[in-house]
Chain A
Amino acid sequence: MRFLLPDPAASLIDRIIMDQIPQGGRVLDLGCGDGRLLCRLRDEMAASIQGVERDPRQVITAISKGVPVLQADLDQGLDEIPDHAFDFAVLSQTLQQVIQPEALLKEMLRAARKAIVVVPNFGHWRIRLQILLNGRAPITSELPYDWYNTPNLHFLTMIDFRALTERLKLRIVRELPIVGGVAKPDLSLANLRADSALFVLEQMTEESAPITMPERAENPREMETDSAV
């Protein structure tokens, strides 16, 4: 779903993703589009790359850049990819567009040891304000769609995402609120102020330490303050 012209915000987010990946890693990009991120990982960081993309035209563009790509639909699972064949599986701005986000997250951490997920934050104050004041589905520069033509099937906030990781017993290795394409690691009230967020996840194993999540209310859905984020 990443289109046509080089999008400055998208390339900033690519940079934030790249900062999470060490030199020479083996990286799987799910919904790799034209392969832009993978090319940079290959050329700038000597990564061993592999893409997955559904759109035939995007696949052709990716191939022409030398990006190895499996043409597949993320909603059909990643059956071709063996367990832990990758160091990182990347899913940028796509989780909210798949039919089964939960299944896909599980698949990512089967295929790779770490998952890097960038999700839009529907908890942003502008979105909240639009709903509150207009009483209509929100439209922002980051989410420029009407309700009837949006590719986004699911609406989640950073808090919602954390709750899902907890349910799936995934450890959040890193959490980076993003504002206007810039990572803000220490952003206060992130669930109100970040337009999107990057999460680095891994499977919680016996050895890995139990998660210390930021303090928050028992049920995140009841938490209105966003104070701890």
Chain B
Amino acid sequence: MTSPPVPSHPHDERSVGIVSTRFIDLFSGETPLRLESGVTLGPVRVAYETYGQLNSDASNAIYICHALTGDAHVAGRHSPESKKAGWWDGMVGPGKTFDTNKYFVICSNVLGGCQGTTGPGSINPATGQPWGTNFPFITIGDMVEVQAELVRSLGIERLLAVVGGSLGGMMALDWAARFPEMPRAIVCLASSARLTAQGIAFNSVGRRAIYADPNFQNGDYYANEGPKFGLALARMIAHITYLSETSIERKFGRRLQNSDQLGYEPQQEIEFQIESYLHYQGQRFIERFDANCYLYLTRAMDYFDITQRYGSIAQALGRTKAPFFLCSYTSDWLFPPQQSREIVTALLGAGQHVTYLELEGVKGHDSFLLELEQLEALLTPFMTYVAQHPPDTTKLPPARPNPASLAISSAGGH
């Protein structure tokens, strides 16, 4: 389905090469998308990228869900000149974990996003103006509905796996609950079945920074500069939560940015290197992200609680036959391992098959994006096994839930 890959760098044989984002309009005409809030929305334009070739029986597709501020551009480069490869280039490509010689990999920008998919920055067909905060409320379930529609529109009924980290991991869990028969495996990294109070708290402070920016203008800022200061501040706060105490201590310590000694100057905003780094992160973020979108997506994350719709984690995730691969990082304090363990316990109680690892490392929540070596070693054989062992319905034992697991889940209201 993709054009033949062109190596982006002559020396990088494991790159998917030059890729481009494509667009598709879904939910147009008679069948708009019914959002969880009850509102309908349509048409929905979806920005997506694919890598590798879909095989003849459409059985080798893997869907990757991006995290909060990610986009459809997972791997490769958009042009030979582009300095930056896709956000998970280390995992997707020929010979990599998501081997594009074997698998057909799909990723799309989420509903409500600002990287090509319909979101608050898109034009409201009714007014001809950007939606702004008139854009309907979006949930993770709504995002997953759009992803599933995209997958179906590509002629794919079953996915080899749905994969995601952080917010993307929440989507992977929601896939398992919402479309239990579609994925053959679920990969959920550094994520949670529901955002913690701490997570909501950090999101709230970030949103406050945007609301408090005078340029926010109730979200109707597209003709003007927009709340850049607030959005940068939101990113600075969030960025701290993606790192670990150890990693920033090692990287920056108390080193000063421009001088050998303290300046004793109250007006000097950037004195330590860590300050410079955070400002840089904030600046880079406002070049590529929309403040309204940040409000919508963080709210969707706050609202996510898989038990709400299905009663319990076991009930939500107990229906799929897909094996689960979960991974958390000991240095992650935004989505700490305890959150993954809670999912593991519920899955085992529901009679599911779970592979779970707590990986060491210092890079905090962002480990799933940065520390790929261990993850590759574990996830590659997992994917290979799933791909090589299509479910043989004739051999499966008739009933999986055993009396013990039923007893467990009845306590949770099975």
Interface residues of A (CB under 8 A from B): 23-26, 46, 48-50, 59-60, 63-66, 68-71, 79-87, 112-113
A121 to chain B, nearest CB (A): 31
| Given A60-B378, A82-B408, A48 and B348 contact (CB-CB distance below 8 Å) | no
Can you give 24 A-B contacts (C-beta < 8 A)?
A24-B397, A26-B402, A26-B404, A46-B395, A48-B351, A48-B397, A48-B400, A50-B354, A63-B355, A63-B378, A63-B381, A63-B382, A64-B384, A64-B385, A66-B385, A66-B389, A68-B323, A68-B353, A70-B354, A80-B344, A84-B407, A85-B408, A87-B402, A113-B404
Query: In the complex, what residues of B have CB within 8 A of residue A49's CB?
Result: 353
Q: How many whole Å from A63's CB to the nearest CB in chain B? A: 5
**CB of B41 closer than 8 Å to a CB of A:** no
Answer yes or no: B377 CB below 8 A from chain A CBs. yes
Provide the residues of chain B in CB contact with A113, threshold 8 Å: 404
Taking the closest CB of chain B, its distance from the CB of A144, in whole angstroms, is 31
**Does the CB pair B381–A80 fall under 8 Å?**
no
B402 adjacent to A48 (CB under 8 Å):
yes
Interface contact B384-A70, CB-CB below 8 Å = no
Q: Is the CB of B405 within 8 A of A59?
A: no
In B344-358, which residues have CB < 8 Å from any A CB?
A: 344-346, 348-349, 351, 353-358
Tally A-B pairs: CB < 8 A. Answer: 79
Q: A48, A69, A84, A85: which contacts B355 (Cβ < 8 A)?
A: A69
- Closest residue of A by beta carbon distance from B357: A71
Tell me how many residues of B have a C-beta within 8 Å of chain A. 32
The residue in chain B whose Cβ has the minimal distance to the Cβ of A43 is: B395
Closest to B346 in A: A82
B402 CB contacts on chain A under 8 angstroms: 25-26, 48, 87
Alpha-carbon distance A85/B386, docked complex (angstroms) = 24
Identify which of residues 333-347 in chain B touch chain A, using a CB-to-CB cut-off of 8 Å.
341, 344-346
- The residue from B351, B354, B384 contacting A26, defined by CB atoms under 8 A apart: B351
With a CB–CB cut-off of 8 A, which chain A residues contact B348? 50, 80-82, 85
Set of chain A residues within 8 Å of B344, measured between Cβ atoms: 70, 80
Q: A71 contacts B408, CB within 8 Å?
A: no
Query: CB within 8 Å of A: which of B59-100?
Result: none
Identify the closest chain B residue to A65 (Cβ).
B385
Name the 4 nearest CB pairs between A and B, nearest first: A64-B381, A68-B353, A82-B349, A66-B385
A70 touches B356 (CB 8 A): yes
Contact A71 B358 (CB under 8 A): yes
* Bound: A25/B405 CA distance, A: 12
Contact A68 B355 (CB under 8 A): yes
Measured CA separation A71–B349 after assembly (Å): 18
Within 8 A of A (CB), among B193-210: none
The answer to whether A63 and B385 touch (CB under 8 A), given A71-B358, A80-B348, is yes
Complex Cα–Cα for A60 and B384 (A): 12
Chain A residue with minimal CB distance to B356? A70
User: Which residues of B are found within 8 Å of A65, using beta-carbon distances?
Assistant: 385
Cα distance A9–B386 in the bound complex, in angstroms: 31
Q: Which residues of the other chain, A, contact B353 by a CB distance below 8 angstroms?
A: 48-50, 68
CB < 8 Å neighbour of A59 from B345, B378, B386, B397: B378
- Bound-state Cα–Cα, A87 to B324, Å: 20
Compute how far the CA of A24 lies from the CA of B341 in the bound complex, rounded to whole angstroms.
Answer: 26
Given A50-B348, A82-B349, also A70-B408 (CB < 8 A):
no
In angstroms, how far is the closest chain A Cβ from the Cβ of B320? 14
Whether B408 pairs with A83 at a CB distance below 8 angstroms is yes
User: B382 — which chain A residues lie within 8 A by C-beta?
Assistant: 63
Q: How far is the CA of A63 from the CA of B187 in the complex (A)?
A: 13
Contacts of A70 in B (CB 8 A): 344, 354-356
Is the CB–CB distance between B356 and A87 below 8 Å? no
Looking at the assembled complex, report how far the CB atom of B109 sits from the nearest CB atom of chain A, in whole angstroms.
Answer: 31
Write the nearest CB–CB distance from A36 to chain B, whole angstroms. Answer: 15
Q: Is the CB of A85 within 8 A of B404?
A: yes
In the bound complex, how far is the Cα of B351 from the Cα of A85, in angstroms? 7
Chain B residue numbers with a CB within 8 Å of A68 are 323-324, 353-355
Report the separation of the CA atoms of residues A49 and B396 in the bound assembly, to the nearest whole angstrom.
13
